[in-house]
Amino acid sequence: MNTANSKKAFELAQNVIPGGVDSPVRAFKSVGGTPIFIEKGEGAYLVDIDGNRYVDFVQSWGPLIFGHCDKTIELAVVDAVTKGLSFGAPTQVETKLASKICDMFDSIDKIRFVSSGTEAVMSAIRLARGYTGRDDILKFEGCYHGHSDSLLVQAGSGAVTFGTPSSPGVPADLTKHTLLAKYNDIDSVKKCFENSKNIACIILEPIAGNMGLVPADEKFLQELRSICDEHETLLIFDEVMSGFRASLKGSQGISNVVPDMVTFGKVIGGGMPVGAFGARLEIMNKLSPDGPVYQAGTLSGNPVAMFAGLASLEKILETKDLYSEFEQKAKRLVEGFKKAANKNGIELQINVRGSMFGFFFNDMPVKNFDDALKSDTDMFAKFHQAMLKEGFYFACSQFETGFICAAITDEMINDCIESAQKVLSEIK
């Protein structure tokens, strides 16, 4: 595989962009080698600037449910572009997309659009604090909620403690209000509630996708719900990744637990920069201009992004058996990987939720971040590099989730399993 052009492009990029990338995970640091520079997408495929083609299991980290250059979404965007890129004034398409989502989710009466997942979660946290009049928030090790200050807290193992910042530039004064607990471990949550009477909200990925794919147990979610009810703390489901991915309604299409607030991103913009947060009326009424909690955005509800999101969501709703077909493909893929791994004496832990899949090079089932960290990341790096050469593009870290899109065929899955068999027998 020739990647000379990508190597050259990466060198040039590094001169003017920190690390050569605009989001750190793209730098291929944890798998070695240099990132592939993309020329274009074609359905299930990525084409790089050296002309190599890859079946894309990243799909822009989730948003592209129908793959690249989906005609319906493309036409909606082109049509919107000819009418103007941005107005900073209301448009009807915002109401249309909002109505669709409010109709779909029991937990949501009103929704506000923003421009990224980070912004959605940051705003939801502010609203939760404003609504409850409390300062502390509780998050879980290994859950990612974007890069805003209060949420960038070390996933320090074990001890339940007030968080310390995981990045320079985040004042400890800010993160002292962020409590950390262990995913799928209700006792660690109870300890936090013993330490603080001031918890505005619990925020979690109900289907965690940022430590690899680690779904929450149903019982754990139920217990979180009842602890929140008992303490009048809000339960926030961060469905930026799982929304319209794990099922049509994300976690809420799989679990019976109903959150107080929900955040979205990724799929909701169909590939354009969109995020959103929603809740029931009494909470959303506290948001500016109806209420005192301030939140704003020059490009929020951008018409081009809204039309992309709406086209994507309408197509999702129109496509029969979309999620069951995703799940079938995802299952077949990781079960194929597991079989191939086991044949070569390698242990593999696998998970699937709808179009989301994960596999850990790990001897034990993965229930939380500590478990995930015990995975063999060297083995993952070798697997990643070799699969890339075979023409399969996976997320460049053991701690990310893979995605099936509608353009991925059964044949591509078969080919991928075949390549994995070959690769695993070579790297064992």
Ligand X SMILES: *Cc1c(COP(=O)(O)O)cnc(C)c1O
Q: How far is the CB of 265 from ligand X (least distance, A)?
A: 4
238 counts as binding ligand X under rule CB under 6 A: yes
Smallest distance from ligand X to CB 62, Å: 7
- Name the DSSP letter for residue 376: -
Q: Would you tell me the crossing angle of helices 377-389 and 410-427 to the nearest 10 degrees?
A: 130
Q: Contact with ligand X (CB under 6 A): which of 41, 67, 130, 146? A: 146
Q: Is 238 a catalytic residue?
A: yes
Q: How far is CA 215 from CA 17, 179, 184, 206, 255, in A?
A: 35, 21, 9, 7, 11
Neighbouring CB atoms inside 10 A of 219's CB total 11
Q: Give which of 335, 336, 423 is closest to 385, Cα–Cα.
A: 423
Q: Taking CB under 6 A as the rule, does residue 136 contact ligand X?
A: no
Q: Is 63 in the site for ligand X (CB under 6 A)?
A: no
Per-residue contact track with ligand X, 82 to 121, x per CB under 6 A? ----------------------------------xxx--x
| Whether 353 contacts 394, CB under 8 Å | no
Q: Is the Cβ of residue 67 or residue 275 nearer to ligand X in the bound state?
A: 275
Catalytic residue selected from 131, 144, 183, 323:
144
By beta-carbon proximity to ligand X, the closer residue of 175 and 196 is: 175
The residue type of 204 is: L
Residue type, 150: S
Site for ligand X in 198-237 (CB under 6 A): 205, 209-210
Residue with CB nearest ligand X? 117
Q: How far apart are CA 165 and CA 55, in angstroms?
A: 37
**Residue 331 parent element (H or E):** helix 322-343
**302 lines the binding site for ligand X (CB under 6 A):** no
Long-range contacts of 227-231, Cβ-Cβ distance < 8 Å, separation of 24 or more: 227/186, 227/189, 227/190, 227/193, 227/202, 228/202, 228/260, 231/193, 231/199
Q: Which is nearer to ligand X, 238 or 260 (CB)?
A: 238
Closest distance of CB 242 from ligand X, Å: 7
Give me the catalytic one of 48, 238, 260, 371.
Answer: 238
294, 137 Cβ separation under 8 angstroms: no
48 binds ligand X per the rule CB under 6 A: no
Alpha-carbon distances, residue 53 vs 47, 67, 287, 389, 398 (angstroms)? 5, 14, 46, 10, 22
CB of 428 to ligand X, least distance (A): 32
Q: Which residue out of 266, 315, 329, 382 is catalytically annotated?
A: 266
HSE, CB side, 13 Å, CA atoms: give it for residue 53.
6
For residue 147, the minimal CB distance to ligand X (Å) is 7
Residue 145 lies near ligand X (rule: CB under 6 A): yes
- As to burial, measured by CB atoms within 10 angstroms (0-12 exposed, 13-18 middle, 19+ buried), residue 320 is exposed
Q: Verify whether residue 393 is a known catalytic residue.
A: no
The residue (of 210 and 355) whose beta carbon lies closer to ligand X is: 210
Q: How far is the CB of 117 from ligand X (least distance, A)?
A: 2
| Residue 103 is a catalytic residue | no
Confirm or reject binding of residue 241 to ligand X (CB under 6 A). yes
Tell which positions 360-379 bind ligand X, by CB under 6 A.
none
Choices 70-78, 142-150, 313-321, 373-381; region in contact with ligand X by CB under 6 A: 142-150
In the complex, the residues that contact ligand X under the rule CB under 6 A are 116-118, 121, 144-146, 205, 209-210, 238, 240-241, 265, 275
Catalytic center residues: 144, 238, 266
